[in-house]
């Protein structure tokens, strides 16, 4: 059973004070303080609890509680295990009609689960709509471990790919050297050669990447590549 920690109302006050800072004055120190304290801060949820964002993805809505008003307490770290991972939700903080104080993708929540922080390493997902593999290149092929792709994330990703027409989603993890540095790339069994509208692939890949930590590298491989035999069912 996952150990739960009580939500912290003192961190709520810190978040409330941070939000008062004008957006053009929010520097890296502001970001670090926000990301550190927002994990366990007590929030009130909205009604309905989940909204569809402008990007089409589902977000659990958390609002700062109103002063002197009783509320049911929610915090991201506990919500992660109760709802977010299993349902493939992101989180939005204090959303309005046109903006929000902060938005976490589902992949940010996955990274919190794996690494105790929302963002690790590179700040942006690297997406390769098709990767070129040298025949003489040394590759290590494996299946992602639980510490790379949790079981809940595998289910959410599989459901999303099936929704978009991938009948039997498959994946593999490719490890290889690039510019002298070892990198890992997550490949999915979508092939440019079989796509009716190849120009739409980058957008599709960006949508898939919403479910993954921002430092992951998501790739497609050529259908005629010999490594496709290493794909395994997601």
DSSP string, 70-109: ----B-HHHHIIIIIHHHT-EEEES--SS--SEEE-HHHH
Tell me, yes or no, whether 1 lies in a domain. no
* Contact in structure between 200 and 137 (CB atoms under 8 Å): no
Using alpha carbons, select from 112, 200, 99 the residue that is nearest to residue 150: 112
Query: Which range, of 31-45, 117-131, 135-149, averages the lowest pLDDT?
Result: 117-131
Q: Kindly state whether residues 135 and 91 are assigned to the same domain.
A: no
Tell me, yes or no, whether 3 lies in a domain. no
Q: Kindly state whether residues 87 and 171 are assigned to the same domain.
A: no
Task: Give the domain-ending residue among 75, 96, 115.
Answer: 115
Using alpha carbons, select from 81, 89, 78 the residue that is nearest to residue 160: 89
Task: Give the domain-ending residue among 80, 115, 150.
Answer: 115
Q: Average pLDDT of 33-57?
A: 95
Q: Kindly state whether residues 21 and 111 are assigned to the same domain.
A: yes
Structure tokens at 26: 């929010």
Omega before residue 221 within 30° of 0, cis:
no
Tell me, yes or no, whether 4 lies in a domain. no
Q: Kindly state whether residues 146 and 216 are assigned to the same domain.
A: yes
Q: Kindly state whether residues 136 and 159 are assigned to the same domain.
A: yes
Q: Kindly state whether residues 168 and 207 are assigned to the same domain.
A: yes
Percent of residues, the chain, with pLDDT higher than 90? 69
Q: Kindly state whether residues 146 and 179 are assigned to the same domain.
A: yes
- The count of domains in the chain is 2
Q: Kindly state whether residues 138 and 54 are assigned to the same domain.
A: no
pLDDT at 87 over 80: yes
What confidence tier does 1 reach under pLDDT thresholds 50, 70, 90?
Answer: very low
pLDDT at position 41:
97
pLDDT at 129 over 80: no
State how far the Cα of 215 lies from the Cα of 114, in Å rounded to an integer.
Answer: 13
Using alpha carbons, select from 105, 134, 131 the residue that is nearest to residue 118: 105
- 194-221 pLDDT, tens digit each: 888 878 888 999 999 999 999 998 988 8
Beta-strand ranges (E) seen in the chain are 44-52, 58-63, 90-93, 102-104, 126-128, 140-142, 170-178, 181-188, 217-219, 232-233
- φ and ψ at 176, to 5 degrees? -160, 170
Tell me, yes or no, whether 2 lies in a domain. no
Structure tokens at 199: 């120009």
Provide the domain limits for residue 215.
126-233
State how far the Cα of 124 lies from the Cα of 158, in Å rounded to an integer.
Answer: 22
pLDDT at 4 over 90: no
Residues composing the chain: 234
Tell me, yes or no, whether 73 lies in a domain. yes
Q: Kindly state whether residues 139 and 208 are assigned to the same domain.
A: yes
pLDDT at position 126:
57
Which residues are bridge partners to 217 per DSSP? 126
Q: Kindly state whether residues 93 and 177 are assigned to the same domain.
A: no
Tell me, yes or no, whether 32 lies in a domain. yes
State how far the Cα of 65 lies from the Cα of 69, in Å rounded to an integer.
Answer: 7
Q: What's 162's domain CATH number?
A: 3.30.300
* Contact in structure between 115 and 121 (CB atoms under 8 Å): no
Q: Kindly state whether residues 147 and 202 are assigned to the same domain.
A: yes
Task: Give the domain-ending residue among 93, 115, 137.
Answer: 115
pLDDT at position 134:
60
Q: Kindly state whether residues 193 and 155 are assigned to the same domain.
A: yes
Tell me, yes or no, whether 43 lies in a domain. yes
Tell me, yes or no, whether 63 lies in a domain. yes
- 140-175 pLDDT, tens digit each: 999 999 999 999 999 999 999 999 889 999 999 999
Average pLDDT value over all residues in the chain: 90
Structure tokens at 37: 């304290």
């Amino acid at each position: 059973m996952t150990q739960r920690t009580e939500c912290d109302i003192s961190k709520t006050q810190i978040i409330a004070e941070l939000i008062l800072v004008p957006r053009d004055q929010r520097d890296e120190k502001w970001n670090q303080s926000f990301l550190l304290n927002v994990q366990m801060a007590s929030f009130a949820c909205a009604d309905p609890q989940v909204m569809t964002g402008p990007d089409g993805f589902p977000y659990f809505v958390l609002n700062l509680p109103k002063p002197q008003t009783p509320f049911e307490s929610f915090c991201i770290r506990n919500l992660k295990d109760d709802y977010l991972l299993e349902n493939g939700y992101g989180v939005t903080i204090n959303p309005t009609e046109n903006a929000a104080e902060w938005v976490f993708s589902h992949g940010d929540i996955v990274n919190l689960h794996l690494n105790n922080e929302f963002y690790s390493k590179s700040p942006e997902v690297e997406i390769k709509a098709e990767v070129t593999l040298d025949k003489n290149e040394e590759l290590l092929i494996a299946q992602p471990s639980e510490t790379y792709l949790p079981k809940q994330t595998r289910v959410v990703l599989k459901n999303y790919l099936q929704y978009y027409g991938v009948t039997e989603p498959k994946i593999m993890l490719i490890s290889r050297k690039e510019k002298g540095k070892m990198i890992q790339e997550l490949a999915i069994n979508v092939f440019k050669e079989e796509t009716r509208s190849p120009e739409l692939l980058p957008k599709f890949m960006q949508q898939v990447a919403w479910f993954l930590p921002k430092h992951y590298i998501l790739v497609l491989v050529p259908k005629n590549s010999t490594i496709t035999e290493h794909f395994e069912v997601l």
